[in-house]
Chain A
Amino acid sequence: MLKISKLSARIGDKSILNGIDLAVNAGEVHAIMGPNGSGKSTLAQVLAGRQEYEVTAGSVSFAGQDLLALSTEDRARAGLFLGFQYPVEIPGVNNVYLLKAALNAKRKAVGESEVDAYEFLTLIKQKMKLMQMSESFLTRGVNEGFSGGEKKRNEILQMLVLEPKLSILDETDSGLDIDALKIVSLGVNSLRSQNRAIILVTHYQRLLDYIVPDYVHVLSGGRILKSGDKSLALELERRGYDWVRESAAA
């Protein structure tokens, strides 16, 4: 589904990604862990099409297309979803309008007609129930005045409505209370299927108890230093990152 080869990117003169190789197949869940500032969010944003980052080398194919050649909106329409580490507040733009516009943009791209208003409302209410969000969030501005945890739930709500092929969830677990972590995990797991894939960026093994990954990668200094199965996360939890860096340097 996603194949990243030797991807390097920089912002200004600062090189952040330094040759990333990663392959994600349909049906898989990958976790990316790594120290602060190692480039995890940068990777996520480069994949989603943030123009500020300049790709200096490498290639990315997504569902048979050259991902880097697509505009941000076309990547979304092709089924890529980024759950932001810091979802932005957009006062004055209604949460439900954005969702509807997003869904319609995607439907239009695949040649489907616009969603019927009633159908849409039924769908969204059902998903909100799953995320245990009050319907009052519908009429508010996008993330406007939402608490940290509410913003993250709203990201997952959008994901559930858009049903992306590939979801990249950047620290969706940080800022969530214990119950919310379960709710969010439930939401994510509901989307796991043979024809979808998920990349979880996280600092905590705890999330991986709920959403069990097939692979765990350590990203450091803009490179993937080590990959393993879910036991790697447990080891990282115990030993930190230094040993990974040291053994990679050796």
Chain B
Amino acid sequence: MMVNSAMRSFEEQWQRRSIGLIGTAGPIQSLQEQAMRRFVNLGLPSARDESWRNTSLRQLAASHFGDALDVPCAPRLEPIEISWLAASDIPTIIMVNGYPQLAWLDRSVLNGVSISTIKDIAKTRPGYLINLLEPLSDLEQRRWLLLNSALFVDGLHLKITAKINTPVLIIHVSSGNARDGVNAPISNYPRVIIESAKNSSATVIEHHVGASQQSVFSNSVSHLDVEDNAKIQHYRIFSTDANTSHIDSLDIRLGRDSHCQQFTMILGGGLVRTNLEAELNQPGAALENYSLLVGRASRHIDCVNIVRHNARNTTSKQTARAVASDESRVIINSKVVVEVGAQHSESQQSCRGLLLSPKAEIDTRPQLEIHTDEVKCAHGATTGRLDPDMLFYMLSRGLDRNTAQSLLVYAFLGDVLTNMSVVGVRSAIENVLIGQLPNSQLLREFQ
């Protein structure tokens, strides 16, 4: 076990809030206790842990984190001011440091979604909550779920019961002003549960933004529970500041003939580690995952996907596109496991990286683990620089180098962008994306 400042502060946080989620003893409280104990025993991951080989937490380990406030300093945050995805016609829920601000929500715009806090769920449906939190696992990619399970104080629960056409936006704000004072780093533990009931369909966007002068460690967890025949489009978009370290874990469970389209977009942050674990539990379940990872400055991005085909006739498709400039680094590990009994399943993995500077690095590692016959699995990974023939062709037509390069980068990301069917979201993302590429002004014309 590694004794360090971060671990000490996590334990202190636990001491301060050992009353737990609902404030009384009971199965949830003991689950949280157990989660904390196990996390403390494991300590922070090190380079010896396979999935942390390329990501150092040394800086995080040296920080001492204070508690984050449950409301922001300002009386009320306006969605438009904190998220470029906000729009007047999009129902928006703001979470401040993991605390849902439901009082700010205009519920009249929401039909077919019921919204509550996880605190409420803990009281009304403890069994359901425990079922989602369990089993606690010591596996390295699930370690941060332990910490979140121990330390989350509240969260958001969405139950989608109908087919809804407008997307629902959740803005996760990491807001500074630690309880214990000036300029100390803070940590928060946002948790979101999204249940898509049978036959429902919806689009849910989680946008992580920063509004903090202080450095922030965000340890967020989301669950997507997609029941039979339900459809969900889920986005997690990270555009926090360079002073944010983010470890996000997304658990997806898919029922019979359900369909989930998941987009992971990293456009900000200092260190961003994302975990995705999907369980295709019933025949006909389908998962599409698209990742768009933009490394610039000294950003470090580490993406781990594990997709398990647990039933026959399940399909998964993963498409990851990473661009790295300056001294940034992007790591993509994606693994597909086809379990015994999952015959006639199909999976595709395509990971591609584009290096835009000599000091940038991209590592991609698609893996396959097949325990049954009669499956179709394809995977491919490539990393390279801009194609000199394409570049020369464009220059020979009179385009300047920056424009030519930006067009090529943009084209490279097209495999992800063109699959974003919510037009408003796509154009908002393209706008931000273009701002992160060289010669952004010229490129706007080509949208």
Chain B, 405-442, contact with A by CB distance < 8 Å: what is the 0/1 string? 00110111011000000000000000000000000000
Given the known interface contacts A49-B395, A52-B388, the answer about A97 and B446 at a Cβ–Cβ threshold of 8 Å is yes
Known contacts A88-B390, A93-B408; A76 and B414 CB within 8 A of each other: no
Chain B CB count within 10 A is highest, among A48, A84, A90, A141, for: A90
Once the chains bind, are B396 and A92 in contact (CB under 8 Å)? no
Q: Does B399 reach chain A (CB closer than 8 Å)?
A: yes
A93 to B388, CA, bound (A): 15
Contact partner of A76 among B388, B390, B395, B403, CB < 8 A? B395
Measured CA separation A6–B150 after assembly (Å): 78
B104 near A: Cβ within 8 Å?
no
Instruction: Count contacts between A and B, CB distance < 8 Å.
Output: 75
A50 with B392, Cβ < 8 A, contacts A73-B399, A105-B399 known = yes
Please tell me if B398 contacts chain A, counting CB pairs below 8 Å. yes
Other-chain residue from B394, B400, B410 in contact with A98 (beta carbon distance below 8 A): B394
A91 interface contact, C-beta 8 A: yes
Q: Which of A94-108 contact B (CB under 8 A)?
A: 94, 97-98, 101-102, 105-106
Which chain A residue lies CB-closest to B412? A92
In the assembled complex, A227 has its CB within 8 A of some CB on chain B: no
- Choose among A72, A81, A90, A91 the residue that contacts B395 (Cβ–Cβ < 8 A): A72
For A72, list chain B residues within 8 Å (CB).
392, 395-396
Is A158 among interface residues, defined by CB-CB distance under 8 A? yes
Contacts of B400 in A (CB 8 A): 73, 105
On whether the beta carbons of A158 and B397 are closer than 8 Å, the reply is yes
A100 CB → nearest B CB, Å: 8
Cβ-closest chain B residue relative to A86: B389
From known contacts A76-B396, A106-B398, A109-B398, infer whether A92 and B390 are also in contact, taking CB-CB under 8 Å.
no
Please give, as numbers and ranges, the residues of chain B lying within 8 Å of A81 by CB-CB distance.
396
In the complex, the chain B residue whose C-beta lies closest to that of A75 is: B396
Question: Any chain B CB within 8 A of the CB of A77?
Answer: yes
Residues of B contacting A51 in the complex (Cβ-Cβ under 8 angstroms): 392
Residue ID in chain A nearest B389 by CB atoms? A88
Is B398 within 8 A of A87, CB to CB? no
Most buried by B among A72, A77, A105: A72
Q: Is the CB of A77 within 8 A of B390?
A: no
Within 8 Å by CB of A92, from B392, B395, B410, lies: B410
Contact A97 B411 (CB under 8 A): no
Cβ-based interface call for A82 (8 A): yes
- In the complex formed, the residue of A with least CB distance to B411 is A92
Residues of B within 8 Å of A94, CB to CB, are: 446
Q: Are A73 and B411 in contact (CB under 8 A)?
A: no
Give Cα A75–Cα B400 distance, bound, in whole angstroms: 11
Q: What band does the interface of chain B fall in when counting residues whose beta carbon is under 8 Å from A? A: 20 to 34
Total residues of chain A contacting the partner, CB 8 A: 32
- Contacts of A50 on B, CB cut-off 8 Å? 392
* B393→A90 contact, CB < 8 A: yes
Chain A CB count within 10 A is highest, among B389, B394, B415, for: B394
A162 to B399, CA, bound (A): 12
A98 to chain B minimum Cβ distance, whole angstroms, is 6
Known A88-B389, A92-B414, A94-B446; contact A82-B396, beta-carbon cutoff 8 A: yes
**Pick from A71, A84, A97: contact of B407, CB under 8 Å:** A97
Q: Does B396 lie within 8 Å of A48, measured CB to CB?
A: yes
Q: In the complex, are the beta carbons of A49 and B393 less than 8 A apart?
A: no
From B397, B398, B400, B412, name the one whose CB has the most chain A CB atoms within 10 angstroms: B398
Interface string of A168-181 (1 = CB under 8 A from B): 00000000000000
Known contacts A88-B390, A93-B408, A93-B411; A98/B397 CB under 8 A: yes
State the CA gap A158–B396 with chains docked (Å): 11
Kindly state whether residue B125 has any CB partner on chain A within 8 Å: no
Residues of A close to B407: CB separation below 8 A: 93, 97-98, 101
Q: Taking CB as reference atom, which chain A residue is nearest B403?
A: A101
Q: Which residues of A contact B385 (CB under 8 A)?
A: none
Residue B17 interfacial (CB < 8 Å): no
A80 to chain B, nearest CB (A): 9
User: What is the CA–CA distance of A109 and B397 in the complex, to the nearest angstrom?
Assistant: 13
Which chain A residue shows the least CB distance to B387?
A: A88
Question: Could you say which residues of chain B place their CB within 8 Å of the CB of A73?
Answer: 395-396, 398-401
CA distance A72 to B401 in the complex (A): 9
CB-based contact B393/A76 at 8 Å: no
Instruction: Name the A residues within 8 Å of B399 (CB-CB).
Output: 73, 98, 101-102, 105
Residues of B within 8 A of A158 (CB): 397
Contact of B398 among A76, A97, A141 (CB under 8 A): A76
On chain B, the residues within 8 Å of A102 by CB distance are 397-399
* Bound Cα distance from A88 to B389, whole angstroms: 7
- CB-CB under 8 A from A75, the residues of chain B are 396
Tell me the B107-134 residues at the A interface (CB within 8 Å).
none
Across the two chains, which residue of chain B brings its CB closest to A101?
A: B399
Interface string of B371-405 (1 = CB under 8 A from A): 00000000000000001111011111111110100
Q: Which residues of A contact B411 (CB under 8 A)?
A: 90-93, 141
Show 7 residue pairs from A and B whose CB-CB distance is below 8 angstroms, ordered by the A residue.
A50-B392, A71-B395, A77-B398, A82-B396, A92-B414, A98-B394, A106-B398
A71-B395, A101-B398 given; name 12 further pairs at CB < 8 Å: A72-B395, A76-B398, A87-B393, A91-B411, A92-B412, A93-B390, A93-B407, A94-B446, A101-B407, A105-B397, A105-B399, A158-B397
In the complex, the 5 A-B pairs of residues with the closest C-beta atoms, listed nearest first = A92-B411, A76-B398, A105-B398, A102-B397, A72-B395
